[in-house]
Chains A and B, each alone.
Chain A
Amino acid sequence: MSQKTSHLPLLPPPTIPQSPTASSAASRSSRTFSKIKFGLLAGVLAVSTVWAYSRLVGGCNHGGALRFGSDEWEDDYTGVSEGMSGRLGYTLVKDIPTGSIPGRGKRGVKKGEGDDKRLIIVGDIHGMFDEFRGLLDKISYDSDSDYLVLAGDIISKGPDSLAVLDLARKIGAHCVRGNHEDRILLHYHDIQRRKRKHHRASEVEPESPPESEEEDEDEFGNMELEVGEKESRSLNVERKLAKSLSKKQAEWLDACPLVVRAEKVPGLGRYYIVHAGLVHGIELKSQDPLAIMTMRTLNRHLAPSPKQGGMHWAKYWNKMERRKAHGHTTVVYGHYAAEGLDIRRHTKGLDSNCVRGGRLSAYILEANKGGRVEEDIVSVKCRNYLD
């Protein structure tokens, strides 16, 4: 062994041809063992080099480009549609008072007791009065301790829209503006304006009020006729419902914000309740108010669309939320009946298609005995109203 140290060879030295007979079985096995040891050592070294390097540089960076891209988009978007909801006359956001958020009562949660506050969110009711009442019974709703939010589309389509509205107002429910409320209210205000105009006209010419009324009706009928008798049936149905709304009901609906927000739910973070969805990474006031009520998917530029072509917005939301270590935001929404009850980690889709014979679902947040806030889903079966 000693003669090999005379110089520093880069290759292993040639083996001596005389030796094989001399080497015993034991020494051969120890040599193979040492070779394995060297191999292991080299492997460990290589791996640790890579590891140390990656620690130094910052690790896998696959998501970097994407995140940058979304930031860039956010910049553009922020500049663009800020204040749109103001221009359209919407209330953007309302906060749930701290005292009503489960686990955040005034005296805090006593150990071993929990608190009695519940946050209950009910998906698209669509005027299914019996089912709504059945659901309230099933969850034993108590208006003193429970904070009930109806996640949009309370009215329209179903049999008893007005009864649902009255019940919701009576029991002190809160609401989010959905696309159907939006349409009905637009019709409602249009009708009210026509009525006011007609009143003003009859004040100016008091001698011919019946005539002007006729004219008004005529003009009104004209527009319905123009879009075709049979074809505009859905429009006419909406208009009929809008006509039957009382002033108080309309005011109550008009006060519904686009977003209801619950800050700092213990252990779960922030909650947004919207009707259709939100685009992740865009602050609330820069979100497109129309898209909040109608979106289903995002295209590859993150532009929201009510169609079902692109990526489900909730998928993108969860993907981005999972990257965060803390400060998570959960969205509770309805609107997407085609997906049914869609409970993911950071999004909760509640439209389980009640009006077409599915179920009516409620999402409940409640502080349990240990003081932790836990989520629960309760639903009731619906009769098949549409088709």
Chain B
Amino acid sequence: MQMRRMLLGLVALISAVSSAAVMPRNGRGGGGKLSRPAFSKLARQEPEDTKYFRKFFFGDRSLAIEVLTFRPVSDEPGFVASPPNTPAFPLPRADVTNPGFDSNTDLTGHYDERFFSGVVDYDARLDTLKHMVRAWLLTTAKEGIETWIAHGTLLGWWWNGQILPWDWDLDVQMSADTLTMIGDKYNMTRHKYVSEDGLVVREYLLDVNPWIWQRVRGDGMNVIDARWIDVRNGLYIDITGIAETQPDSMPKILNCKNYHRYHVNDIWPLRDTTFEGAPAKIPYSFDEILIAEYRSKALVVTEYEGHRWNTKSKTWDLANDAPAGPEAERLSNHIREPERYYSVESGGFFYNVFRLLHWW
């Protein structure tokens, strides 16, 4: 009889104690833990011996940058492809003609030297690019030139059918034969463009690289095949041709000179859609092409380069608080320091019993 009572008392005691442990651990006195000195969460100087973590976990470039900037899908091991902006044309020698420029900034690769007349600001650039791509799409549709949008421009189409506002250049592609054809028929032609409301009148120059017959990358100075240049300020659209360079070893695989590979059936039949309000064409499997090039994260991340995705209006809006440039790089380069053992609290016996019960 008495033993029974004792056992009951024991069980009651245990259950009472374990229910007491349910109280939040952070609350004062809850869970009966010892108070520890507050651990400073401020990042310290990066210790020498954790440097390899950075390389291992994040690669050399920051994640965000990696996601949304150009990443060639090159299978050749050991080959380092350079970005697509490598000029096919003589570039402004920034250090000589424009001493104000640092040649590492984003600006110098995006103007054509012959028409360069100073760096344009944010709004002017967007306005220029928008009318430029509209002019290109309308002109090609009129002339019956088969072309489709690619790379960052295609990503912009994916989001909302507009240019990504942080983009400095636009990319379109065409088949190599079409490229040869426009090289013969349209090289150095000037095209007038009047916007829909008739307020904007612009002129564009179609300039085809004389080296278009060279379908391999060569020294990397020849990757852009043609340009559609705004003659007011020298901003341009990159036009690249794609062709089957190795029909024997890789049939049905198309290449552009920068080692982007496409399967024939991923490009054709082209889809009809609109871009910036003008009729445009996009590759058949745009999903796969985008994911192969930018990883699926680029289709999900809603903050990039000082812009934030506005879910209501479906546009990328300028956001002052969204990190951009070096700050974004620093944030995504944040290093996880291995913490000392004492920073992990054991929680005590009853807390662990509670956890056992709670997560059962």
Contact = CB atoms under 8 A, between A and B. Distances in A.
Partners in one complex: yes
B311 interface: yes
A38 B251 contact: no
A266 to B, nearest CB: 37
Contacts of A294: 285
A221 B159 CA distance: 35
B244 interface: yes
Interface in B346-360: 357-358, 360
B3 interface: yes
B302 A222 contact: no
A45 B268 contact: no
B252 interface: yes
Interface string B175-219: 111100100000000000000000000000000000000000000
B352 to A, nearest CB: 15
A226 B176 contact: yes
Given A186-B269, A186-B284, A223-B146, A42 B7 contact: yes
A88 B264 contact: no
A46 B296 contact: no
Contact of B264 (A78, A80, A222, A235): A235
A163 interface: no
A6 B285 CA distance: 87
Interface string B266-280: 001111111000000
A223 B177 contact: yes
Contact of B287 (A87, A183, A290): A290
Interface string A214-227: 00000100110111
A73 B296 CA distance: 12
B154 interface: no
A228 B11 CA distance: 82
Contacts of A5: 2
A299 B309 CA distance: 24
A68 B326 CA distance: 32
A190 B2 contact: no
Nearest to B244: A228
B291 interface: yes
A12 B3 contact: yes
B265 interface: yes
B64 interface: no
A9 B7 CA distance: 11
Interface in B289-305: 291, 296, 299-300, 302
Given A76-B302, A186-B269, A228 B360 contact: no
A190 B270 contact: yes
Given A80-B159, A231-B252, A226 B243 contact: yes
Interface string B307-340: 0010100100000000000000000000000000
Interface string A88-119: 11000000000000000000000000000000
A183 B6 CA distance: 80
B357 A53 contact: yes
Nearest to A52: B15
Nearest to A222: B177
Contacts of B357: 50, 53-54
Interface string A151-192: 000000000000000000000000000000001001101100
Interface in B238-284: 243-244, 247, 251-252, 254, 264-265, 268-274, 284
A306 interface: yes
A373 to B, nearest CB: 36
Contacts of A234: 265
Contacts of B296: 299, 301, 303
A118 B198 CA distance: 58
Contact of B286 (A34, A60, A290): A290
A197 interface: yes
B264 A79 contact: no
B144 interface: yes
Contact of B271 (A49, A73, A186, A235): A186
Given A77-B300, A231-B252, A223 B175 contact: yes
Contacts of A81: 158, 299
B270 to A, nearest CB: 7
B4 interface: yes
A124 interface: no
Contacts of A76: 300, 302
8 contacts: A12-B3, A45-B15, A49-B15, A50-B360, A79-B311, A87-B274, A228-B247, A301-B296
Interface of A: 1, 4-5, 9-10, 12, 34, 38, 41-42, 45-46, 49-50, 53-54, 57, 60, 73, 76-84, 87-89, 183, 186-187, 189-190, 194, 197, 219, 222-223, 225-228, 230-232, 234-235, 238, 288, 290-291, 294, 299, 301, 303, 305-306
Question: Top 6 closest A-B pairs, CB basis?
Answer: A186-B269, A79-B311, A226-B177, A231-B251, A303-B296, A187-B269
Interface of B: 2-4, 6-8, 11, 15, 18-19, 144, 146, 158-159, 161, 175-178, 181, 243-244, 247, 251-252, 254, 264-265, 268-274, 284-288, 291, 296, 299-300, 302, 309, 311, 314, 357-358, 360
Given A301-B300, A305-B291, 4 more contacts: A1-B2, A54-B357, A87-B274, A234-B265
